[in-house]
Structure 1
């Protein structure tokens, strides 16, 4: 890769690595697996960077690569172990009750884990990664209509799952 392309890639990674890692975590529920998936995706992105950079599809390609890496990891036999859930690292607001915040987070994560893979990917990419319907469709390799229907079904399922928790939950709680 040329030096100017390397600099562009480094800027992209600096700006989006955290978002990609968070997306991977929301898809798999484990920070270590999310980190591995993000690294795998960034390696693929680096190899394809000159081609992707010209088309301007780096973000969609990166999210698709992360989604694919998470699915590939789940297929590996040594990844079938069930890990314990660790609380995500992040900022803590002093005015927020950390116990209530943690309960909300765990409830949303548990509800996300109940979703089928494609529905979970649609919700995570649309609402947590803040991708458009078109970008989500490109990232998952499906039609925009499929993204809309899968997202609607996933949100219905999440509402049902979260209704019994007694917590005032919002998607921003993660």
Structure 2
């Protein structure tokens, strides 16, 4: 038991950035992100003993984090609107600046997508393949492709105002 506890803590330390990314996409307030972080960690711990493929830890964490986030949103049945976008790390902002994208604007546009499309675009931006995204979310690769194309069009029209 002690070894699995230590393994879990090491994995959580190494992969906690995934949980933070998912929370940033789904929740606008720091409080909601912190609450959901704890819920995700709890759900990861509950399902840790069932993790079979140690090669796909990142995918497992994405799946648990996304499903936990969607469940929390649906359970709360509320939308929290805020006037400002949450604080971001310098590294996140630097990546967007290098690509000519305003990070806050990108976050606002991602928040306009539905829950599943947000998940798909997050995984797509993390360079997961259509098959990997489909496996994580439990949908077909074809559906992933269709949703990515629609989300891109929606994001592009938001960006250009057309």
- Normalising by the smaller structure, the TM-score range is 0.7 to 0.9
| Structure-2 residue corresponding to 1:170 | none
CA contact (8 A) 1:119 1:151 kept: yes
2:12 counterpart of 1:13: yes
Of 104, 117, 120 in structure 2, the residue corresponding to residue 119 of structure 1 is 117
2:51 counterpart of 1:52: yes
- Aligned ranges 1:18-167 → 2 under 5 Å: 18-54=17-53, 56-77=55-76, 79-91=78-90, 104-127=102-125, 129-164=126-161
Q: Distance in 2 between matches of 1:38 and 1:134?
A: 26
1:122 deviation in Å? 0.5
After TM superposition, the score normalised by the length of structure 2 is 0.80
Q: Distance in 2 between matches of 1:3 and 1:77?
A: 35
* SS of residue in 2 equivalent to 1:88: coil
* Cα-to-partner distance string for 1:128-171 (whole Å, 9 max, x where unaligned): x4433233222212112211211111111111111239xxxxxx
CA contact (8 A) 1:34 1:70 kept: no
Show structure 1 runs of 5+ residues with no match: 166-174
Show structure 2 runs of 5+ residues with no match: none
After TM superposition, the score normalised by the length of structure 1 is 0.75
* SS of residue in 1 equivalent to 2:81: coil
* SS of residue in 1 equivalent to 2:89: coil
Q: Distance in 2 between matches of 1:92 and 1:147?
A: 28
Aligned length: 158
Q: Distance in 2 between matches of 1:136 and 1:22?
A: 16
